[in-house]
Structure 1
Amino acid sequence: MPICHHQNRKLYFEDKGKGIPIVFIHPPGMGRKVFFYQIFLTEKFRIILPDLSGHGNSEGKQAKFSIKEYAEEIKAILDNLQIEKAVICGYSSGGIVAQEFASLYSNRVLAMILSGGFPEVKSMLLKYEHLAGMFLLRKYPKVLIKVIAGSHTENKELKQVLIDHMKKADMNIWYQFYQESLEYSCLKNIENWTFPLLLIYGSRDFINKHIRNYPNGHFDAEFIVNAFHQLPMKNWRSFNQIIENYLLKLKSH
């Protein structure tokens, strides 16, 4: 597995396929294994799956974590691979890192794709979801890990893969990732973005109401019917097809 050295830490990532590079950014705790099914996109694209520091196989010894630091890690990996521009795809709170990267390094973004994304926690339900995650992580981490894995797949073997990978996470960094996501906002930056932006939501996901916070005319949107939040795993065929269609359309223009 490729390694990138950044700030005295080893960052592990997968790099497979050829074509337009897509970097998938995971949410708190999960690591790259949540993008198990996006490997099928390697038939047409170059797929890069990092474990952010403190997650999965990547090291994470820092006492204080920040969203900006994770954005810097994405840049470090792209620099390491000598990739000038990439599609940046963030899932759930991983989208916070994607948006921070885009705000700092818009010249490195071919396009941005957000699955269940939000520029700021705007609803009480999403706020309490973050707070519940933080509480469970402090008090009952094993329960939280099983709940998250179970919500993403019913496949027993894949569920165990997710559980084993999440157990590698640094609990302190995981907690801070939740906290930073809860407090983050990039609303002031959105209108400055000039790259293509695709928002993907499940039609039954309460987070899709956050689409209102993105200015009209600044994005394309796709809704997967009867789907909830866990699109990369539970609705991976539709999710992958939407990404493929969108990027091939961009390439043809």
Structure 2
Amino acid sequence: MPNVSFDNTIVYYEKYGEGIPIIFIHPPGLGGVVFDHQLPLANYYQLIIPDLSGHGYSVGPLADDPIKQYAKELKTIIIHENLSKVVLCAYSAGGTIAQYFVREYPELVEALIISGAYPKVSTWSLDTVYRLGMETLKLSPKFLAKRLAASNSTNRSDKKQLLQYMKKSSVNHWYAYYLTTYYYDVRKFIDNISCPSLFIYGNETDFTHDHQAYYYEQEHIQIAYVEKAAHQIPTKKYIAFNHLVRQFIDRVV
């Protein structure tokens, strides 16, 4: 399993396929395994799927600013793999990391894809999801892991795999990832997104659905919808998600 190390941090990642490189950014607690249904994309592109530090197999000290830390981890992987530019593909809170990365390192980003993007927790529904998640994590990480595994799976095998993988996550890193993205505000960065971007939402209302309004006026951002879907598109509507990813990358990269 490839890895990069710096400042007492070791970040492990999976690598599949060849061609245009896509780096995936997972949400809190879930680790890179949440993108297992995107592995068929390795028939067309190079996939790089890291466990951010404190998740899966990756380890490191708890950072004062996890968003900055995770962006640095992604940059270190890009340099280690000798890549000039990559496509970032993020899911949920991973989209905060992605939007920050685009602002900090625009020269490294060929295109941006986010499923369930939001620039700030600014609705009652998303605020409630975050607060419940953080409180549950403090009281019972096992219970939260079961809830997330269930909500991101369509069968017993996927649920079991996600649950086992989440057990590897550091609760402190998991909580810090939640907390930092809860308070972070990238609205001031939106105008700086100049790379071709695709933001994907379900056509059913969920806790990120209303946040798409922040991105409507941005000329570089295209918004796409998946029918009969809510938030868990990469894991539960992966055929449609993978199709949108291929269609977008083949058009703009």
TM-score range, shorter chain: over 0.9
Q: Given residue 136 of structure 2, which amino acid in structure 1 is its aligned partner?
A: L
User: Any unmatched runs of 5+ in structure 1?
Assistant: none
C-alpha deviation, 1:215, in angstroms:
4.7
Q: 1:172 corresponds to which letter in structure 2?
A: N
Letter in 1 for 2:237: N
Name the residue aligned to 2:105: 105
**Shift in CA distance, 6/205, structure 1 to aligned 2, threshold 3 Å:** farther
Is this contact kept in 2: 1:191–1:218, CA < 8 A?
no
Asked if structure 1 preserves the Cα contact closer than 8 Å seen for 2:62 and 2:172, the reply is no
Task: Name the counterpart of 2:230.
Answer: 228
Structure-2 separation of matches of 1:194 and 1:229? 25
Runs of 4 or more consecutive aligned structure 1 residues displaced over 4 Å after TM superposition: none
Report the 3-state secondary structure (helix = DSSP H, G, I; strand = E; otherwise coil) of the residue aligned with 2:119.
Answer: coil
Distance 2:20 2:205 in 1: 29
**Runs (5+) with no aligned partner, structure 2:** none
- Rounded to whole Å, the distance in 2 between the matches of 1:114 and 1:63 is 24
Supply the AA of the counterpart residue of 2:228. N
Secondary structure class of the residue paired with 2:188: coil
Matched, 1:29 2:54: no
1:153 pairs with 2:153: yes
TM-score normalized by the length of structure 1: 0.96
> RMSD value over aligned CA atoms?
1.1
Q: CA deviation at 1:65?
A: 4.5
1:161 and 1:233 map into 2 onto residues whose CA distance is 12
Alignment of 1:191-202 (within 5 A): 191-202=191-202
* 2:75 match: 75
Aligned-partner residue type, residue 13 of structure 1: Y
Deviations 1:18-57 (CA, angstroms, capped at 9, x unpaired): 1111111000000001000111000001111000000000
The residue number in structure 2 matching 1:55 is 55
Alignment-derived partner of residue 190 in structure 1: 190
**TM-score (structure 2 length as normaliser):** 0.96
Structure 1 CA distance for aligned equivalents of residues 194 and 65 of structure 2: 29
Aligned pair 1:208/2:206, yes or no? no
What do residues 136-155 of structure 1 show as CA deviations (whole Å, max 9, x unaligned)?
A: 00001111000000011132
CA shift, 1:233, in A, is: 1.1
- Secondary structure of residue in 2 paired with 1:13: strand
Alignment match, 1:246: 248
Amino acid at match of 1:124: W
What is the alpha-carbon distance in structure 1 between the residues aligned to residue 121 and residue 111 of structure 2?
A: 23
What percentage of aligned pairs have identical amino acids? Answer: 38
Distance 1:20 1:46 in 2: 6
CA distance in 1, matches of 2:157, 2:100: 34
- Which deviates further from its counterpart, 26-35 or 55-64? 55-64
How many residue pairs get matched?
251
Counterpart amino acid of residue 110 in structure 2:
L
Q: Which deviates more, 60-69 or 209-218?
A: 60-69
